[in-house]
């Protein structure tokens, strides 16, 4: 796999990009594989009902993570990548983004409090939601956009794995019976917060970034830069995060447990491809400015490589669905088999939409079209949710996700083709 990636890069960029790819691969391993290690244990100890409650709470809190991220993982990454040789400018960008993120976190906490104590469904398990909110705190503290922008991800990889490993071990130490479910969001949030604190320490100590007083103009600039990506991210959430949330509203925690357990397996597998996207995005942003033809040629090779790899992964998921579910989740989760079968081709579909959308449309500055496609997909997904979920529950939500993700990928490909960016041909005509 690494040898294939090497052939995609020019000689002068090869060492840095491979270093970032390997670092991000290890980092994503901490974010996806380590939780996957605890999954078979948690679903057996907690059962579908309590596991579903925890997943519902995480889906709810994801809205606040999206709000506080505000698209900075792409917009701020791009800004820092462009200004990487200007330390004063980087400090200004860093300070502006962190001020905005902390302000959005405060707003999120107020909204959380209003919702939790206004509805019985949330109020009866209020502690679960507040403990899960620690994920938002951790995400705000963790400036992954900074490290992606300067392409120095290796500095935080070890510390992030350390924090996530502590969480993984703690699950086996403190969670032994159903009544211990409250420890899961607590330990999960502590993992996020520890990783965030350690990452900030590295930013200030190793990179000598100074927290400066950001001007009002700088804050407005960062809000403008991230706006279209934020809108797109909100749109994406309506057919990713919202599916679990809507399923929980229409059904119950047990049904949510069936769906969420299968989805976690798919997302973990999908995480194998994310490091390629995160490592390459800053490089493509610079390449587009230098030569659009070279950028498209690079993207063509990337499409073939990532598409082939992700398709193979999806085939394996589809063929061995029963074995995977019984092995990882146990017989109590037999209702998750059909969910995993339906979602098995998401790694392939989403990997292509990532190349067409984030790597191509955003770097070629087609932000508005990118947002429109995702908003359209969101509307489609919500309509499908309301039509399918009341009758088909977790099966209905699975088909809604599959159809929506397919719509996104096909729409992006058609848009690029009409703009004469033909990735399969590797040139602009």
Portion of the chain with pLDDT greater than 70, in percent: 88
Determine contact, residues 266/402, Cβ cutoff 8 Å: no
Largest Cα–Cα separation, the chain: 63
pLDDT tens per residue, range 75-88 = 888 888 888 878 88
Q: What is the pLDDT of residue 173?
A: 94
Answer with the residue of higher pLDDT: 56 or 155: 56
In angstroms, the CA 374 to CA 234 distance is: 9
String of b and e for 147-160 (b: at least 16 CB within 10 Å)? bbbbbbbeebbebb
What is the model's pTM?
Answer: 0.78
In angstroms, the CA 240 to CA 21 distance is: 25
Domain of residue 103 covers 2-428
* Residue 2 exposed, middle or buried by CB count within 10 Å (0-12, 13-18, 19+): exposed
Kindly state the helix (H) or strand (E) to which residue 301 belongs, with its residue range: helix 292-319
Torsion angles phi and psi, residue 186, rounded to 5: -65, -50
In angstroms, the CA 133 to CA 238 distance is: 20
Answer with the residue of higher pLDDT: 227 or 261: 261
Kindly state the helix (H) or strand (E) to which residue 428 belongs, with its residue range: strand 427-428
Model confidence at 261, pLDDT cuts 50, 70, 90, reads very high
Can you tell me whether residue 396 is helix, strand or coil? helix
In angstroms, the CA 334 to CA 355 distance is: 34
Q: What is the pLDDT of residue 202?
A: 87
In angstroms, the CA 296 to CA 317 distance is: 31
CB under 8 Å to 300, separation ≥6 — which residues?
A: 423, 424, 425, 426
Can you tell me whether residue 421 is helix, strand or coil? strand
Question: Angle 253-270/346-354 helices, nearest 10 degrees?
Answer: 60
Answer with the residue of higher pLDDT: 423 or 50: 50
In angstroms, the CA 330 to CA 335 distance is: 11
Residue 426 pLDDT > 50: no
- How many structural domains are present in the chain? 1
pLDDT tens per residue, range 265-294 = 998 888 777 666 666 777 888 788 888 888
Rg of the chain taking only CA atoms, in angstroms:
21
Torsion angles phi and psi, residue 173, rounded to 5: -80, -40
pLDDT tens per residue, range 202-236 = 888 888 788 888 788 888 888 888 787 788 777 76
pLDDT tens per residue, range 290-337 = 888 888 888 898 899 889 999 999 999 999 999 999 998 998 999 999
């Amino acid at each position: 796999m690494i040898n294939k990636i090497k052939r995609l890069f020019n000689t002068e960029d090869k060492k840095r990009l491979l270093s970032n790819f390997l670092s991000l691969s290890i980092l994503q391993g901490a974010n996806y594989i380590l939780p996957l290690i605890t999954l078979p244990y948690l679903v057996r100890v907690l059962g579908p009902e309590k596991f579903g409650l925890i997943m519902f709470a995480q889906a709810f809190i994801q809205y606040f993570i999206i709000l506080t991220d505000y698209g900075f993982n792409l917009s701020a990454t791009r800004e820092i990548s462009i200004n990487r040789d200007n330390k004063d400018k980087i400090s200004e960008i860093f300070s502006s983004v962190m001020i905005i993120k902390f302000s959005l976190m405060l707003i999120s906490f107020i909204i959380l409090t209003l919702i939790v104590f206004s509805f019985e469904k949330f109020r009866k398990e209020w502690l679960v939601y507040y403990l899960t909110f620690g994920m938002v705190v951790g995400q705000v503290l963790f400036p992954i956009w900074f490290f992606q922008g300067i392409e120095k991800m290796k500095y935080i990889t070890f510390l992030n794995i350390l924090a996530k490993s502590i969480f993984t071990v703690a699950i086996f130490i403190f969670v032994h019976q159903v009544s211990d479910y409250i420890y899961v969001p607590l330990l999960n949030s502590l993992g996020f917060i520890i990783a965030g604190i350690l990452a900030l320490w590295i930013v200030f100590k190793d990179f000598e970034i100074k927290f400066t007083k950001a001007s009002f103009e700088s804050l407005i600039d960062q809000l403008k830069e991230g706006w279209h990506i934020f809108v797109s991210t909100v749109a994406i959430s309506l057919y990713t995060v919202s599916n679990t949330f809507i399923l929980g509203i229409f059904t119950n925690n047990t049904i949510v447990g069936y769906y969420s357990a299968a989805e976690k397996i798919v997302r973990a597998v999908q995480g194998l491809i994310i490091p390629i996207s995160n490592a390459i995005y800053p490089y493509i942003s610079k390449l587009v400015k230098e030569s659009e033809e070279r950028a498209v040629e690079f993207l063509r090779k990337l499409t073939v490589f990532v598409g082939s790899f992700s398709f193979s992964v999806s085939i394996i998921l589809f063929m061995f669905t029963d074995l995977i579910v019984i092995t990882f989740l146990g017989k109590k989760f037999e209702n998750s088999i059909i969910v995993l079968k339906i979602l098995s081709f998401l790694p392939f579909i989403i990997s292509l939409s990532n190349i067409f959308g984030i790597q191509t449309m955003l770097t070629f500055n087609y932000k508005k079209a990118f947002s429109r496609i995702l908003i359209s997909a969101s509307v489609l997904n919500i309509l499908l949710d309301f039509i399918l979920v009341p009758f088909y529950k977790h099966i209905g939500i699975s088909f809604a996700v599959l159809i929506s993700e397919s719509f996104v990928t096909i729409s992006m490909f058609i848009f690029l083709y009409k703009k004469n960016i033909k990735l399969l041909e590797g040139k602009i005509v």
